[in-house]
Chain A
């Protein structure tokens, strides 16, 4: 890059995050601001939309336009914004509870709708904000929550499989502890035309301290992105949940109905004349 438009710092607000020291979400915030800098996007033309959760606090820590909505509804809010304002770069961020539990229906439909926006889920397999309950991606035998003392007893969701089967046209996974790879993926995701889903393993050091060991578990085993859904499904069958990289990038046409006005408003009433 020859002309540096904005430094990462210029995308950060002066608000101090509420996050616990060591939370994985700090690195995601930095990767997002770095990505916006690298892409040279004017801050005023970017919007960051979130729901509720620790991770969903992120928009206010940036200097772009943001919206911190209600729990689980970030994706429809982001989609409405992008559909009405295709000129903007729209990102949506949140947690695994926000995106896969209360917002699960919107997640699969956003994948299917394929609006040109980027969805970043900071997955820590726990509800951080409400102090440590199981989420849809929590292991069946995790007994750390008083709400499910025997463990949730359910097989965790596999978000990449959900995204692929629902029609997402860009699917990737990154680890918040590898900001360079995360930034690379975010750049590709934003440049991709269509719905891009970046699944970020982002440890909750407070309620899942064992996740500090994730660094040793992640491995970059998705090869170069494929545009072949069969190939992508095959890769996912072998996925242990810690493979990183861009899994799939298809060429599905983004959904963006736009209309040029063809009639003055005053002409509409004529259809009712008798």
Chain B
């Protein structure tokens, strides 16, 4: 990957990565999925603080998920892989549909992008469709592009069933 990247190249690279992530989650290839993240990656889904706004200070307010490095994502995978989580056996099938990828900024170090998502899951609660948007910071390094930050805004509330990292 050349150091100079135009907007179009950045969008193509971003789409490649986001779509690959969606596919790995749907295929439940957790280790391959984890490898898309930098070691210091932030994975964040804020809670809603009213009809129109989510919380804004993830340190001091309530998040739905706020994991400050990849090892915490590994904890989530660890829990699933024990096969002992009541909520995760049987595990829901999911399909991620991601679109509207727009690149907001690109420089030598990073790409910042946003996308919309719909995830349909099917499990003991039947079919459930949730949606929202992603905000990504992707870190460039040599030939690689990895996820350094993923913020998920899920528009749904009054949630039915568990909502883990792979449901959104």
A binds B: no
Q: Which residues of A contact B (CB under 8 A)?
A: none
Q: Which residues of B contact A (CB under 8 A)?
A: none
